[in-house]
């Protein structure tokens, strides 16, 4: 299915947010996730289904002022 992940269209096989995080290569770094501008907490990723056309954000810790 096609999703928009961090602003870029992606073809993925993941069906849940947890699977998507792994598929996108973030299994070794803490990430924050949002689906259609709603936060998906860590504890809810395995039970949060993703659907065609979803806009997903996967964010990682970065330098900040």
Chain residues in the site for other proteins (CB under 8 A): 6-7, 26, 28-34, 37, 39, 41-42, 57-65
The nearer residue to other proteins, 1 or 32, going by C-beta atoms, is 32
The nearer residue to other proteins, 6 or 51, going by C-beta atoms, is 6
Q: How far is the CB of 37 from other proteins (least distance, A)?
A: 7
The nearer residue to other proteins, 14 or 21, going by C-beta atoms, is 21
Please answer whether residues 16 and 50 qualify as being in contact, where contact means their C-beta atoms are separated by less than 8 angstroms.
Answer: yes
Helix (H) / strand (E) element for 5: namely strand 2-5
Spatial separation of the C-alpha atoms in residues 54 and 14, rounded to whole Å: 12
Q: Which DSSP letter does residue 14 get?
A: -
């Amino acid at each position: 299915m096609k999703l928009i992940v961090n602003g870029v269209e992606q073809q993925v096989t993941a069906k849940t947010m947890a699977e998507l995080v792994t598929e996108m290569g973030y299994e070794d770094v803490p990430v924050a996730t949002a689906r259609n501008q709603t936060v998906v907490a860590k504890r809810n990723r395995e039970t949060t289904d993703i659907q065609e056309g979803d806009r997903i954000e996967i964010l990682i810790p970065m330098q900040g002022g």
